[in-house]
């Protein structure tokens, strides 16, 4: 078992006894004037209640101490040694967040390539496209694992790095899952692509839900690294033998059906482990969250993401969402990513979660169009709402990042000297 902790640049000591007072409930205070406001009442109202943190939340985020327990089998066997060797080749002027962003762009590039050749996840892409996806995931994994090591190497560790890392992971989740769907041609299975993405983002959210309750990110024996190497192996097999290999019959079932069944069982097992932690290991008063709120409430944002898209997908009288399944799950992934980012920010700033988010206007528009039989083309509305939800996600990420940088006196993509009085 490896336990890691890294402190913010202010070098404030965390309470060694994890006292209940640290995790007491503190309702959100009123917003104060911020340099992030633009001067227009409507826009400023949107920014205040959707994108900005209060002064107290920023102070608590500045005090945040990263804590993780890593028992991953592959990490301990060989990957940590490999990553520690790789980070030595990075120039000292390379900012850790830049490495994280490059990994996200690599994942986005590979999913765009495969989406071009497999728009409905039923087609066969060139072998090099699957190989590129496997290589891209390996590069992403390496950059994602070494950005924190680079931060500690150059003395640039900060809460922003943790937030940026996990935020990019939440966005990449749907990209990686889509590449798996392309390799297995899950578009031939009714609801296959949507269910795969649903399971992926839900499990990722639940992992951070448990962190919101315990204040500690916990990795199991078979976790992210092992799952990523399984996907890399799957993509390489697809590149060599073609996607038809997953339709080979074994005991009367397609190989891909057996793989999906194994994934479903593993997901259930891991989700039950997270739920056990959520209900029993809360660090706040009476087993509450780090914000002193109910451990059950974080399920509300998750349901607010899942339920509308399940209703939209099942209610459609046409095959527009099957024909545009990539666009549909990309929109779903963006809404889920913002919900996860809010949960991560709430954990790091020890603040309560809000139920409403303006990004929900995307799926709400799709639902209203369906349930009230408004004569608007579903395909066109899907495109418009997808643009809207990604703009909402990007605006949120931009203003949260800018606020933290201004508060801590650092840059996001540039290495800066530590502030006076801070530790290396």
The whole-angstrom separation of Cα 63 and Cα 13 is: 8
Q: Is the pTM of this model over 0.75?
A: yes
> With the C-alpha atoms ordered 318, 323, 329, 334, is the resulting torsion angle positive or negative?
negative
Q: Does residue 13 surpass a pLDDT of 50? A: no
**Residue environment code for 301-314, b if the CB has 16+ CB neighbours within 10 A, otherwise e:** bbebbbebbbebbe
- 373 near 336, Cβ under 8 Å? no
What does pLDDT average to over the chain? 86
The whole-angstrom separation of Cα 124 and Cα 127 is: 9
Model confidence pLDDT, tens digit, residues 18-53: 455 778 877 776 665 555 565 667 777 777 788 888
The whole-angstrom separation of Cα 305 and Cα 303 is: 5
Query: How many other C-beta atoms can be found within 10 angstroms of the C-beta atom of residue 67?
Result: 17
Q: Does residue 340 surpass a pLDDT of 60? A: yes
- Tell me the average pLDDT across 290-294: 90
The whole-angstrom separation of Cα 80 and Cα 89 is: 15
| Choices 3.30.2350.10, 1.20.810.10, 1.20.120.1760, 3.30.70.20: CATH for 63-298+321-352 | 1.20.120.1760
> With the C-alpha atoms ordered 191, 195, 198, 201, is the resulting torsion angle positive or negative?
negative
Q: Does residue 106 surpass a pLDDT of 70? A: yes
Q: What is the pLDDT of residue 20?
A: 58
Active site positions, annotated: 166
Model confidence pLDDT, tens digit, residues 142-194: 999 999 899 999 888 888 889 999 999 999 999 999 999 999 999 888 888 99
Q: What is the pLDDT of residue 361?
A: 93
Sheet strand arrangement including 217-219: 2-7, 65-70, 217-219
Q: What is the pLDDT of residue 419?
A: 46
pLDDT bucket at 316, cuts 50 / 70 / 90: confident
């Amino acid at each position: 078992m490896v336990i890691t902790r890294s402190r913010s640049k202010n070098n404030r000591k965390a309470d060694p006894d994890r006292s209940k007072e640290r995790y007491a409930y503190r309702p959100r205070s009123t917003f104060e004037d911020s340099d992030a406001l633009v001067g227009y009442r409507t826009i400023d109202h949107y920014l205040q209640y959707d994108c900005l943190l209060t002064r107290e939340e920023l102070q608590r985020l500045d005090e945040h101490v990263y804590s993780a327990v890593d028992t991953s089998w592959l990490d301990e066997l060989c990957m940590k040694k490999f990553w520690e060797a790789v980070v030595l080749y990075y120039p000292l002027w390379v900012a850790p967040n830049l490495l994280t962003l490059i990994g996200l762009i690599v994942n986005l590039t590979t999913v765009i390539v495969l989406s071009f050749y497999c728009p409905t996840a039923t087609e066969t892409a060139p072998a090099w496209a699957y190989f590129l996806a496997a290589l891209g995931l390996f590069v992403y994994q390496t950059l994602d694992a070494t950005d924190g090591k680079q931060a500690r190497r150059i003395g640039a560790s900060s809460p922003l790095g943790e937030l940026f890392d996990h935020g990019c992971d939440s966005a990449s989740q749907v990209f990686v899952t889509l590449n798996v769907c392309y390799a297995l041609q899950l578009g031939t299975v009714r609801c296959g692509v949507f269910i795969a993405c649903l399971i992926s983002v839900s499990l990722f959210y639940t992992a951070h839900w448990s962190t919101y309750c315990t204040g500690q990110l916990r990795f199991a024996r078979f976790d992210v690294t092992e799952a990523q190497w399984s996907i890399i192996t799957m993509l390489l097999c697809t590149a060599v033998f073609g996607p038809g290999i997953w339709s080979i019959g074994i005991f009367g079932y397609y190989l891909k059906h057996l793989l999906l069944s194994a994934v479903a069982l593993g997901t259930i097992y891991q989700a039950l482990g997270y739920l056990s932690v959520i209900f029993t290991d809360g660090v706040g008063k009476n087993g509450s969250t780090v914000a002193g709120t109910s451990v059950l409430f974080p399920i509300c944002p998750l349901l607010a993401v899942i339920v509308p898209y399940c209703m939209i997908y099942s209610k459609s009288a046409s095959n527009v969402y099957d024909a545009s399944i990539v666009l549909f799950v990309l929109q779903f992934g963006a809404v889920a990513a913002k919900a996860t980012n809010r949960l991560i920010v709430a954990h790091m700033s020890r603040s309560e979660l809000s139920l409403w988010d303006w990004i929900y206007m995307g799926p709400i528009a799709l639902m209203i169009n369906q349930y009230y039989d408004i004569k608007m083309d579903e395909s066109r509305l899907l495109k418009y709402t997808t643009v809207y939800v990604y703009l909402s996600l990007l605006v949120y990420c931009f203003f949260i990042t800018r606020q933290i940088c201004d508060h801590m006196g650092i840059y996001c993509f540039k290495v800066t000297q530590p502030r006076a009085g801070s530790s290396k």
